[in-house]
Every structure is written in structure tokens, then in C-alpha cells.
Structure 1
């Protein structure tokens, strides 16, 4: 695309027709390539909004850009966005399996088009063998939703309940949406539904539920819009959600959002010529509730969740050795978040956290602690936690823990007027913890001030070399800016406050639970499955865990990757299935694949619920070791359990 953009810029600078070889010399390509690029550029220009630009070709004269040329930069941005999302290129759907599979989901699952394998082979210009692989991949991806596509002599069939089909479509789309921008999402949904229903529903919510929309995060809103758009498309094709059996107390909870859902359903019926059954409206209500779109005029006194949340806050506070019991903001934010989270997990509604991987890296210790501390929720509510939900809870607790520490001083530098500066200030205040001191400075004031007490600088200007953390942002603060601010802030907070652990190296909590019979140094193992089986069989043989622990470990591995940097894996299961606390350790002669990472050291922490108070010390020690490459190399070189004990106790003789 870069070459085509350069060609467009060359055309922009020419006021007269120029032959193809004129441009081919400047771009160091053949004239044939120039002609091909011109054809593609003209196709792309037709999709660019608010422009009449096109490339005119004339025999014996050459080519020239014709039309109003005052919006070139906006057009280039649009072309870059459109081209970067290859699904919207029909040729890409034919030749790229990644996008072909998405199109198959659209045709065979969303639209349930009556199409044969032979016709798909013709449409995508691929062999039936390739299509069989596509269907295998799709079915593996959506298997957990209890939905499958079947190839028969009559065509492609679908099995599964309607509610699960809609879950499956949304789940498959999630792999194409993560880390993408709003323009991409709008284009994707328009291409999936062949209409503008996604944007229309968005505007409908803004017009009728503006206050709720303002309180809803961008990620929850996008997830909700995708789910409603899928429901409308399925309703337009005559597919309705089946009635679900549920407990009365759950139905009462959904009533908090039922009025919003029923009002929207009436409007959608008129605007899209669809019919909502009672079950369809109840499903829409559950979507609103699960995405925290709750009518605040019908509050319920929720003593049941209040008790659970207080218990969790106290447990995390004890583990972190911080009194969080008086943090009213943490309590109320969890009270708002918790019921919706439980509903999502019970109904298998997945909300993607776009910065999950960053959170797992930057807050790895707290992430692991939360997995352990929240394990009994799975038993109480019959749910299975996942990395995304744990990461959303982590945000609430991390802010509370930061609040308990000293406030940070943050400076915003903006080249525009007071109104623009205040706009950025307000957005940053909404983004960062309220405890922090945030001020707007001019560049001259920054240059003339002492920066000793400044902790972070957020700027729209290039301010040169300053020995402070700096985040460069645009004047309008886009999604990338928000993520950069959060990322830099996270790095700074961790570096500034640390864990307060002795850097010399003395980890008594690890040695307390490390068992000689569960330590294997320099062994030959060929796969992750073999390694897990060895660890779990030993724990089961020693009666350290009960029969359910194996399943909890394997489920955790299926949900998310437990490998981290420097070739370490930290598999673990639920404490509720541990009868005697232990730490297992294996070092390998040759690394094995653990997800996407080559792993040479495996540490399995299996702490019983009675010892959960020690989890902070255990993980503090583990993460201090595994985050230091030199310590990892020392650990890798251990030849005996005695050496390992000396290493962990920082005794001489290693």
C-alpha cells in the first residue's frame, strides 16, 4: 500500500497528464505495475467519503488526478485503514484462509445460506480439501458454544440452539476485532450484515439511552452493539431465541435492564421489520445486564453480592497486606461490576479486554494472585473464570492498591488553547486514578520549572530529552493514546513502588512449600502434555491434591497461556482441590513449546485454601526470580535439591 500512496502523492503534485513511465522511474517499478496500481487506486478512491477524486487516463497523454485536492491527507488515512483490513477486499477472501473462514461464518452460520461445498469451492477458487480444513478450524473455534457446521450432500448444515449460534458468531468475530479501531469495526459489521444496522443501533442507543452510554466503557459498548446487530440479523432471517429456564432471582436481576431492552425492541421491530418474541426480548435484556447497561431508576438492595464482595476485598487486602476494607470506591465499583460478570460467565457471553496481554505482563503477580483468590467463586456460582474477566477485576484492585500508595504528579503539555487543554485534562482524569495530581503546563513553564517531583509527562508536543517518563499523544486522544498512557503509567507505577522484596535474594515462602520429591532437575521431556501429566500424577500419587485438581489445571491451560518471559511456565489449578500445599519444579535439558513460548523451567504452585494468605509472598519471590535473566540462568544450572535450597535461601556454597 505504501507504493500506491506514494503514487497518489506524485499524481497530486502533477497539474498535467504524465505517462506511466514517468511514474515508474520515480517509483522504481515497471509501467505495468503502475497501471495495475492505478486500477486499484481508482477502486479504493470510490470508497473514500466526501471526495470526487479519481485518476483519469488518456491515450498518448498518460494519467492525471482529477477532482478536489484539498483533502488528500484524510483520503490517505482512509485508504490505509480500508486496505489494512483485507477482509473487505473480495480477492483477499478468496486467497487468504484467515478471511475466507470469516466469510464462510457469515454465509453458513450468520445467514445460514443454502450453499453446497462445490459452490463454495467455485466461489473461493480453492479445493474441497482446503474447505474441509476451513470447516475443521471453524468448528474447533466455536466448539465450546455447542455449535457446529456440517457438510452434507444437501449443503452446509448447522446444529445448535439459536442462543448458542449467536454466541458462536460473536465469539468467532472476536478474533478479528481485538486491538482494532472503530473504523475497522464499523466496516467489519457492515460487511457481515450487508447493511448499516451496527451504526444505526449505536445511534439509537445514544439518542434514547445517552446517560447509560456515557457511563459504559467503549469495550462494553462495542461488545453489546455486536451482539445486538447479530440478533437483529438473525431475527430478520426468522431465527428466534428459545425460552431459557432460569431461577427467579436471576429474572429479578434482569428486570434492572428489561425496561431498556423492551423499549429498544419496540423501536427495532419498527425500524428493521422484525418480530421480537418474549424470549428474544429477555435475551436482549440479559445482553444489557451482562454489559452493565442497567436502569439506575430501579435499584435493588443487593445484600447477597455485598457480602461476597466484602469477603473478596478483605481476602485480597490480607494477601497484599493493605487495608482495603474502607475503600468505598472499590466496593461500589465491584458491586456494579460483579453481578454482570457472573451473568456473562453463566451465559457464556465473552467480553474481550484489548490490553489483556499487557496486563498479564505488567501486573503478572496480582493477576496470578486474583486467579487463586477468586477460585471459590467458580464453585459458588458454577462458572469458569477466564483471563479477560480476571483482568477486568484486576483493574479495580490495582487502582485501589495504587490509591493506598503515594499520589503521583502528572503534567500535561498542550500547544492549543485553554479549552483544548482542559478537554485533555478531563479525559486523562477519567483515565487515571483520582488520587493522582494532574496539572496542565505550558512548554515554557515546563522548561523553567524544577522537575524533581514530576512523575509523568503527557504531551502533544515534541519536548526533547527529559529524564522523566513521557507519553506523546494526539490533540484528540484516540484509542492508541489511551493505551499508551495506561501502558506508560503501569510501567512507571511498578518501577516506582515495586514490591519491597529484598533484592539480595531470600525467598523463605518458596522453600516452605517446595517438596524434594516434586523437584526434577535437567530432565528430558518432549511435550507440554507429558510435563503436565508428570506433575499432576506426582501430586495425585502423594495425595497432595484430589481427583478434580487435574481437570482444573487443564481447564486453566485451555483458557489462557500460562507461560511468561525468559522461558518459564507457571501452570496452576484451583486451591479448592488442594489438600496439602506444595510447589513443584522441573528444569529441562531441552525447551518445549508452551503455547507460543519455548519453556525450560516449569513451576507449579499448588496452595490449599488455608495457605492462600501466603500467595503474595510466594509469587513475589517467583516473579522476582523469573523476571531476572541472571537468576533464571542460575536456576537453570541447578544440579541438586541442596543447591536449589541454597540458591533460594541465599546461602554460600552454590
Structure 2
């Protein structure tokens, strides 16, 4: 008996690798080979299915057993995710990996190509997997359906990419086929786009769609980000190269995705909703990792809009002392927008609505704003006191963002009218039931809306996370904004995932701002489903 396979982690990844080698495996066969129960094997396969689902892929079952009916690009995509998640059980040829990394680093440094370090890791790993799998007899074959590549660029415009790959070939590491070189071209250009697009203009049509995306997110967040030129340029480059990576079917793992969802749930939800419309013409499905990267660009823009902190400095000791203290405060708090110096008498009649806190060299009577009392010489102890209060202020403001969602009257009215607890066996049955509950004055309009929902589901799954799905259709076919929430007794298949909470959105174009509180609610529900269900029971009419 091989005792290493009693370790579930080792066993799972051994089965995972066998499936990636296109083996057909039955539960009984695996149970006998690894000397464990069929229920243990069932748990292993369940875990593996979740790994596949992260890339929107699934396993197939027939009389011969369980197997993966996919292509080599998808196999390498799955392997890359597991390796990037730092799973120690995946065997890596470190000598080959380091050899590729050294050659590639030298090549891009020599040509002064600017590619982020995280993307270099992704490229090196992609090259490694092509070589590693080829040695095992598995090679990449392109199917000629790369629509985005034909839309965005022609490969012969980028001979420098082939030069980079030639550096690997010259070292005797490997010789790339035409398909492999083309696949890696998508990936490399999509990772260092700012360099490659120096003499190449991004289509105006793409820029126009970026502007529409920013407008939709602005409306959803109720914050005007449309004048932020930096946001527009960052999104143009990021999404342009994202589409190239998508065409290469490559994976970028976002190490901050959990923190992004927890810290900025509304933002993530609104960006996810807006991107589903943005990506529809390109027929691509974005992972949560990719949505998280885009959300970071929007959060950076939101931060740029925020007013910086304002401090009021109360000092009765003259201009010299006040200038000295102000200079010291600015040195330890460089992000302060303004430090206004006032006398104790003027303080009594001032409007303090835009003041964050007060620093004073004298004791002052109780104020509506917090007061930090220091000495006129601003000692080290005083500086620590100011900094500690400032840090507490920032943390408090951030915590307010992540507090549990509380319903506004408007949101309660919007969702409370159609919350259903039910039991359905298929996605079609569940959606058909929700469609029948919607009021339309025109049956043709209703049919158009229903068709638009199914069309979206066909192009891109509306599965969100933790059993939540958010189907939605074309706003042009919506007469009245409405939301239907169906909570199922038992989860049902939804593409490659299982769903037990369905939130059907009917949002008119002019009501996009109503998306933000709903997406915030959904994100909180993903974090804590029991809380979500209890809230739904509370507000249900």
C-alpha cells in the first residue's frame, strides 16, 4: 500500500494531473488504486471540479468514468492557476524554470521592454508549461477563432516578440511551433502593451466603449469619474491587454481578490455588472481575478476624488509659533489638504463642518470636533499623539465603508416586493418562474427582455460567487425597474457552478444608480449567506 495517497492533498493533485493528461477515471478504479473509500474519492473529485470551475471549465462523465474533454491551452491554464496559487504538490522542474526566467529577463532588459514583474512571472510560467507539456507529448493547437486578435493587431507588426522567443531557442531550450509562437505573442503583447503600442493607436471604437464603461460605473456608484483622464488611459491599456490575454486563454491570479471583495463590496459589484455589458460584444467571460484588477483602477479614481483631510490649528502664541507648528505637522502628515490657524476667540464662531479634527496648544472647551492638545514646541510625544489620531481617523473612515449593509427605504421597497423561497430543479425552471412574475404592458417587450437574458447567459455566465447568480437583460427592454430574489432549498446547476440564490435584475438605463446598493447587498450576502437570508425574511412583504 502506498501510504502517501492517504494524504488527501497529494491524492487530489495526483488525480488532478491524471485528468489533465486526458485519462478516464472511475470512482471505483481510484478507490482501489489509492486504498480509500469511494466517498473520499467523491470529495476529491468535488474539490477538483471547483478548481476547474475557477476557469469556467468542467469535467465530463460517461460510462468510462470522469474525464476532461478540453484542449491543451485549457489544460495549461488550469496548471498555471494551481502553480500561481503556490500549491507545493505540483511538480516543477526548477532548473528549466530558472533557465527560462534568466534568458527572458536578459532579453527584455537588453531591449528595454517595460513589463511588470508579475506579468513576467506569468509569461515565464507559460513558456515553461508549453515546453514541459510538449516533452510529455501534449502540444498547443490554435483553432483559428481568435476574434480579438484580428480585431486588435496583426502579428507581423511585432517581430520583437519573435526575437524574444528566439533568445530561448538559441539557448537550445526549445523550438516553438507557429501556433505556440502566436499564442505567446498574444500573451507577451498583452503584458507589455504600453511598450508595444508606442507607434500603434488603439481603435477609437474601443476608447468609446471605455468611456461608456466609466459612465456606467459612475452612475452605479453615484460618483462622477468621467473627467478622470488617468482612469480612462489606465483602463484603455488594462482592458486592451486583458482581451489579448483572454484570447491567449491565459490566467492571471489576483492575490488581493478576497480583500478587494471584502473592503469594496459595492464597487466590486458595480464594476462586475458594468463589465458584463462591456464584454458582451467581444463574447468573453471575465474571472473574478480580472474584475478585481479593473475594480482597483476605479477605486484609485475614487480615492483621487476624495477630499483630503483638513486640520484646524488653534494657537494663541503669534505667527512665528503657529508657522513653526504648522511646518512640523505638515512634515509628519504630508497628505493633509490644509492646516488653518485660528485664535481661540475665532474658533467659537467658525463653521467646522469640513474640519476633521483640531490641534491646539492650549486647553479649549468642548468642541463638536475631536481635539488633540499638544505643547507649543511639538515634542516627539506630541508628534506620536497627532499621528496616532490621524491613523485612527483613516481607519475609522475605512471601517465605515465595510460596515454591514443597512437598507434604505428605497432599496427595501425595491427588493421587498418579490422575495421568494422555493424549490426548482433546473436553471430554466427557476428563471421561467421569475419571468412569469414580471409585469410588462407589452408581451413582445417581455419576450425581448427574456431573450436578452438568455442571450447573456449563453455568452457569459452570470454566476457571481458562493452560490449567487445575478441574471439580467437588456435595459432597453425594461419598462419599470424591479428586482426578484429567489432563494432555493437546494442548489441547482448554473453553468459550471451550483446556485441557490438567484437575483434577477430589471434595471432601466435611467435607474443605473439603483444597482449600487443592490450589488452591495449581494456582496455582503456572498460574505455571509445566513445574514442575507435572514435579511430577506425580514424585508419580505
TM (norm. structure 2) is: 0.66
SS in structure 2 at match of 1:560: strand
**Residue 209 of structure 1, aligned match among 96, 108, 119:** 108
Which residue number in structure 2 is paired with residue 333 of structure 1? 234
Distance (Å, rounded) in 1 between the aligned partners of 2:469 and 2:68: 39
1:166 aligns with 2:73: yes
Report the CA distance between 1:342 and its aligned residue: 1.8
Contact 1:150–1:156, Cα closer than 8 Å, also in 2? yes
SS in structure 2 at match of 1:546: helix
Contact 2:426–2:492, Cα closer than 8 Å, also in 1? yes
Change in Cα spacing, 1:243 to 1:369, as seen in structure 2 (3 Å) is: closer
**Residue 353 of structure 1, aligned match among 251, 254, 257:** 254
1:495 aligns with 2:399: yes
SS in structure 1 at match of 2:254: coil
Cα distance per residue 1:493-521 (max 9 Å; x no partner): 5436789x9x8x6433653x5584x344x
**Residue 262 of structure 1, aligned match among 156, 162, 176:** 162
Report the CA distance between 1:309 and its aligned residue: 1.6
Change in Cα spacing, 1:97 to 1:329, as seen in structure 2 (3 Å) is: same
Contact 1:254–1:285, Cα closer than 8 Å, also in 2? no
Which residue number in structure 2 is paired with residue 100 of structure 1? 11
Which residue number in structure 1 is paired with residue 200 of structure 2? 300
Distance (Å, rounded) in 2 between the aligned partners of 1:148 and 1:357: 26
Which deviates further from its counterpart, 386-395 or 371-380?
371-380
SS in structure 2 at match of 1:274: coil
Report the CA distance between 1:300 and its aligned residue: 0.9
Distance (Å, rounded) in 1 between the aligned partners of 2:9 and 2:27: 18
Cα distance per residue 1:411-443 (max 9 Å; x no partner): xxxxxxxxxxxxxxxxxxxxxxx9789xxxxxx
User: Higher RCO, 1 or 2 (CA under 8 Å, sep at least 6)?
Assistant: 2
Report the CA distance between 1:351 and its aligned residue: 1.8
**Residue 288 of structure 2, aligned match among 387, 395, 408:** 387
Distance (Å, rounded) in 2 between the aligned partners of 1:603 and 1:115: 37
RMSD across aligned C-alpha pairs, in angstroms?
5.2
SS in structure 1 at match of 2:465: coil
Contact 1:515–1:583, Cα closer than 8 Å, also in 2? no
TM (norm. structure 1) is: 0.56
Report the CA distance between 1:165 and its aligned residue: 1.3
Contact 1:290–1:340, Cα closer than 8 Å, also in 2? yes
| Superposition map of 1:444-593 within 5 A | 447-449=381-383, 451-452=385-386, 494-495=398-399, 506-508=408-410, 511=413, 513=414, 516=417, 518-520=418-420, 523=421, 525=423, 534-539=433-438, 543=446, 545-550=449-454, 552=456, 559-561=463-465, 571-575=470-474, 579-585=478-484
Cα distance per residue 1:59-96 (max 9 Å; x no partner): xxxxxxxxxxxxxxxxxxxxxxxxxxxxxxx954x223
Contact 2:73–2:140, Cα closer than 8 Å, also in 1? no
Unaligned runs of at least 5 residues, structure 2 = 311-333, 338-377
Report the CA distance between 1:634 and its aligned residue: 6.7
SS in structure 1 at match of 2:505: strand
Distance (Å, rounded) in 1 between the aligned partners of 2:402 and 2:59: 48
Contact 2:148–2:247, Cα closer than 8 Å, also in 1? no
1:199 aligns with 2:110: no
Contact 1:201–1:225, Cα closer than 8 Å, also in 2? yes
Change in Cα spacing, 1:308 to 1:240, as seen in structure 2 (3 Å) is: same
Report the CA distance between 1:278 and its aligned residue: 2.1
